[in-house]
Amino acid sequence: MDCVDTYIKPDSGAEVSHIAPELVDKLQQQRVWLPRRSLASTQVVRGVGPTPIAIQEETSLCLR
């Protein structure tokens, strides 16, 4: 199978979205090829909570 069930909350106003490492693990367990690229430098984003999120890789997902 080339997909997994998950819940998402898309933000139409966001330039990018982050995905949890657990989702990446689930996809890899299903042998989904996930093109990943390391960023030149770590990007730090802030959400609604007080803890900033460090982003080190990027990928593209096909959502159905």
Neighbouring residues of 39: CB distance < 8 A, sequence distance ≥ 6: 55, 56, 57, 58
Give the CA dihedral 36, 38, 43, 46, nearest 10 degrees: 20
User: What whole-number distance in Å separates Cα of residue 33 and Cα of residue 27?
Assistant: 8
pTM over 0.75: no
Q: Measured between alpha carbons, how far is 40 from 57 in angstroms, rounded to an integer?
A: 9
pLDDT computed for residue 1 by the predictor = 57
Give tens-digit pLDDT for 9-46.
Answer: 777 777 777 788 888 888 888 888 888 899 999 999 88
